[in-house]
Structure 1
């Protein structure tokens, strides 16, 4: 598959209009992170107070959604869009998002930057790793796709994804592929976590409100986003048709597409733009006739995306 480069595009965008969009705001990133953690904590506390099967299912959905949201913030930090001090950008991201999700920013960055550099080619590690997985083979019927999503609620599919995830994003590797083990700070984090859970006697709640959502809805939302971004009968014949942007409604932004992650095409064009400026970037790019004509923009996850997974003729541009 041909590798496309953003430099090949001839978009007529005023550079002065673009410049403010690259400015980062540490407080906006920090507030978003604090919001995600507060939702996780309050969802667990409310469920414990009014525990029943329905409240627990809702808590698992909401907590998994905010875990996914934390992963999106980690993704921004991978591009150094959190703190200007790169050492603290990585350190705080690891302790507040990555280590709780059982990986590290160093390992993720190694994979993710290669994904950007070799989008949808045999040198793209994300693309190659997913091509042979059954759930990423399209076209699918709508019922097949929905059944795949629901299979995550059994924890079986999530457990499979977790094994696959740990193999790719667990311990760091050197350039030759040799495992380097886990960073000392990561081991320290897990030692402190195990100690705190044991001393406080909170293992039951950790399993109920972290491990279960992690093995179910967290990976479920990751799967939906991965499909939306790079799969489901995209044309792949141009940089503007090699990834999809999804304009989400308020409910989808809350559950499926937090922190403007739906604007994925815009992110691939300009990865230096932080998440909170992506809607402005999209509006600016839509002023360009070539972008407006060719860009693959889908309206909604529950409506537009489902329409595109089985029949490429239904793809919205």
Structure 2
């Protein structure tokens, strides 16, 4: 909420894109805590894991874990890199087709930041939404209470900044992270996952909560995010690339990146 408070202090629309990017990065970090709750690794109790995971992490982003994102995401883990992988539904879209150039990344990031990525966000939300109508009430009630409180406290602009950040900054960062997870790799299973490192600033903005250890997450999906760096030390057969090295492969490749290419330094 610090970014929203900063916008209130500045009180200028010129600051909104920067605030939306910052708030969106924190919403993205919240989503990754919800991701741990999806794997039932946020809290020891499954009951409280789901309750608090949805109330504090998923519903604020209009996502439903149980009967929604969880089965979709577990299918992704089970069928990673195959035709049954549900992520391929949006990874086959134009933004993710190779080559992914600097111009392409800048273009889509800019479009997302002005709201033109909202149709893609809605498409993703629709894919992970549960088919049980009663489950929809969680985020609906959460947003109704949030909006009502801001109206009652005469600060409805807080609701506006949160929502706009979710529709723009959050989705721009979500898309950026998606490029670095599996795009371009043709292998099935965890070998179809990029293995890379990132500097602290890049981690804060784009890969919070050790999400740069995505390869390790796919090898040990039930391990909480804070233990993934230790597991990284156990795996030596796959090189750890920099974000720039992964990007160079995106830019130079006009097809899928094979395992042999991954091993080239």
> Do both proteins adopt the same fold according to a TM-score greater than 0.5, normalized to the shorter chain?
yes
**Aligned 8 A contact 1:142 1:309 in 2:** no
Gaps in structure 1 of 5+ consecutive residues: 1-40, 174-178
Instruction: Give 1:243 deviation, angstroms.
Output: 0.8
Structure 2 residue 6 is the aligned partner of structure 1 residue 65: no
Instruction: Give 1:63 deviation, angstroms.
Output: 0.5
Structure 2 residue 230 is the aligned partner of structure 1 residue 280: yes
> Aligned partners of 1:152, 1:97: CA distance in 2, in Å?
22
**Aligned 8 A contact 2:79 2:188 in 1:** no
Within 5 Å, give how 1:167-186 maps onto structure 2. Answer: 167-170=126-129, 172-173=130-131, 179-186=132-139
| Max Rg structure | 1
> Aligned partners of 2:9, 2:141: CA distance in 1, in Å?
32
47-56 or 109-118: bigger deviation: 47-56
Distance 1:194 1:239, change over 3 A: closer
Gaps in structure 2 of 5+ consecutive residues: none
**Aligned 8 A contact 2:28 2:174 in 1:** yes
> Aligned partners of 2:165, 2:84: CA distance in 1, in Å?
32
Deviations along 1:255-292, one digit per CA (max 9) or x if unpaired, are 01100001111110111211111111101212xxxx2x
Distance 1:195 1:239, change over 3 A: closer
Structure 2 residue 143 is the aligned partner of structure 1 residue 190: yes
Within 5 Å, give how 1:81-92 maps onto structure 2. Answer: 81-92=41-52
Instruction: Give 1:56 deviation, angstroms.
Output: 3.1
Within 5 Å, give how 1:259-278 maps onto structure 2. Answer: 259-278=209-228
Q: Which residue of 1 aligns with 2:76?
A: 115
Aligned length: 257
Instruction: Give 1:310 deviation, angstroms.
Output: 2.2
**Aligned 8 A contact 2:3 2:22 in 1:** yes
Q: Which residue of 2 aligns with 1:20?
A: none
What TM-score, normalized by structure 1, do the two folds share?
0.75
> Aligned partners of 2:187, 2:121: CA distance in 1, in Å?
32
> Aligned partners of 1:196, 1:161: CA distance in 2, in Å?
29
Q: Which residue of 2 aligns with 1:310?
A: 251
Instruction: Give 1:138 deviation, angstroms.
Output: 1.1
Structure 2 residue 54 is the aligned partner of structure 1 residue 102: no
Q: CA RMSD in A?
A: 2.1
Runs of 4+ in 1 over 6 A off after TM superposition: none
> Aligned partners of 1:119, 1:238: CA distance in 2, in Å?
6
